[in-house]
Structure 1
């Protein structure tokens, strides 16, 4: 059977999300593991200005004045047999989520495993709810909000990330 060169959908499980541990030397990126869902909203926090004028003959017109974006991550609270929480989750919960003001910013990066370029954000984080029922694992979530213009970086030799 011939292989097609037509575009194909990519698996959602192939996305990699990492947070930079800004307290570590050398530069250290921590994967956020056991994700079971994510939502990238590239229009979050967008602001527009209505510029409709009489000359538009009744047709609406606008300018985008501000761009924004968020990524909502959902996972299971991950810990090893000793109770040590997953490094990425632990950094978000114990280090990043407690900062205020200018200190509340932290770098994050993300990409699909098929891509050769990371998307880089300066971001803030909002921790999500944790919980679970009798026959469930404990949930974990966080929403990452981009601050400023996004950047990119090539994937280093060895792949970088999970």
Structure 2
């Protein structure tokens, strides 16, 4: 497979939908320097092994789930000191919601892809901190609710 190459992890883009504005407003999340996707988070299975299974384990998946974690640096505009809009929306608006209002949309894709993966999700804020010679850390974990959808990339 000489024609295929691995893709750069830094080429992934993550955006959160600002549900307080027009539904088409998506805010890029800046400052990410590492991320992880767990396609089996919250997966549930049931064992279906029976006498006629011939001594072999069997199961069915009863529930699918997924999570996406992003980590990086807390970002502010160097002149205005305003928070990065994506991080600020997550920290100042989304994480405070409970019940049915706790859901929001997030989308992600690699820069080589022509469609976004879109999730309705809940968010859990991560820890923030740093040491004497560090930049302040920032992170969040998104847990998918329902099936993912796709959305075409538009200019």
Q: TM-score, normalised by structure 1?
A: 0.92
Secondary structure of the residue aligned to 1:88 is helix
The answer to whether 1:46 aligns with 2:43 is: yes
Secondary structure of the residue aligned to 2:93 is helix
Measure how far apart 1:25 and its partner are.
2.1
Q: CA RMSD in A?
A: 1.1
Measure how far apart 1:26 and its partner are.
5.6
- Paired residues in the alignment total 154
Corresponding residue of 1:104: 102
List structure 1 runs of 4+ shifted beyond 2 angstroms: none
Of 149, 152, 155, which residue of structure 2 is paired with 1:151?
149
The answer to whether 1:11 aligns with 2:8 is: yes
User: Which moved further from structure 2: 34-43 or 78-87?
Assistant: 78-87
Corresponding residue of 1:21: 18
After superposition, give the CA deviation of every residue in 1:99-144 in whole Å (9 maximum; x if it has no partner).
Answer: 0000000011000000001001000000000000000000000000
Counting only pairs closer than 5 Å after superposition, residues 11-160 of structure 1 correspond to structure 2 as 11-25=8-22, 27-81=24-78, 82-156=80-154, 158=155
Secondary structure of the residue aligned to 2:146 is strand
Q: TM-score, normalised by structure 2?
A: 0.96
- What is the distance in 2 between the residues matched to 1:141 and 1:149? 24
Gaps of 5+ in 2: none
Contact preservation (8 Å) 2:13, 2:111: yes
Decide whether aligned partners of structure 1 residues 26 and 52 sit closer, same or farther in structure 2, where only a CA change above 3 A counts. Answer: closer
Decide whether aligned partners of structure 1 residues 26 and 69 sit closer, same or farther in structure 2, where only a CA change above 3 A counts. Answer: closer
- What is the distance in 1 between the residues matched to 2:71 and 2:44? 27
Gaps of 5+ in 1: none
Decide whether aligned partners of structure 1 residues 115 and 5 sit closer, same or farther in structure 2, where only a CA change above 3 A counts. Answer: farther
